[in-house]
Amino acid sequence: MILSLLKKITEFSILGYTDPVDRGCLLGATWLGDDPQIARMAEGKTLVGVLGIGSIRAADVQRRKSLFDYLRSLKIGMPPLVSPAAIVNEGVDRGDGLVAMDGVVVHTGTILGEAVILNTRCSVDHDCHIGGFTHIAPGAVVCGDVRIGFGCLIGAGSVICPGCQIGDECIIGAGAVVTRDCTEAGTYVGVPARKVA
């Protein structure tokens, strides 16, 4: 998905991708080795990096955060990447490493933290604050004036009602409807959403 997005954003040339496993040529991009190879490639060059690790578990969030910090230590830029098929309105603060996929809509007054993933056709209404390393899954709806903490997963097709607060490291299950604050870390499912783990 990231490679497909990068091919739509013509200001970048794709050098290749890193991964612990050689997956061969992906969409015309060459495997460059594992992540430690990035330091060698970055010597004397100006590079831009994009995180291609989704966040569906706490371990994924920590892996993304570690890689983000590693790239930053190498002075590799991580500009926000927004699909040309997304709508991010004026007055939205975009954190480094943001990835916004096709069909995403984000309204004015919203703050998007570092390395936020806005997946296919999700929407974030006005004056929201989305914490760093949070993943909003396909088709999720975040209504106005919502606060979401660090490292959360907002599941596919879920709805976060206006003014609700989601604490750090919360998982909102697919299809859940959050009608009140979910401030304690854990997993929330159902309509209305209730903590189950």
What DSSP designation does 61 have?
Answer: H
E strand segments, 9-116: 81-82, 87-88, 93-94, 99-100, 105-106, 111-112
**Catalytic residue (one of 107, 126, 129, 135):** 126
2 φ/ψ sector (left φ>0, alpha ψ -120 to 50, else beta): alpha
The DSSP output letter for 57 is S
Rounded distance between C-alpha atoms, residue 42 and residue 48, angstroms: 9
Rounded to whole angstroms, the Cα distance separating 130 from 152 reads 9
Q: Which DSSP symbol is given to 28?
A: T
Q: How far is CA 98 from the centre of its chain?
A: 6
126 is catalytic: yes
The total number of residues shown for the chain amounts to: 197
CA distance 130 to 116: 8
Q: Which residues are tagged catalytic?
A: 126
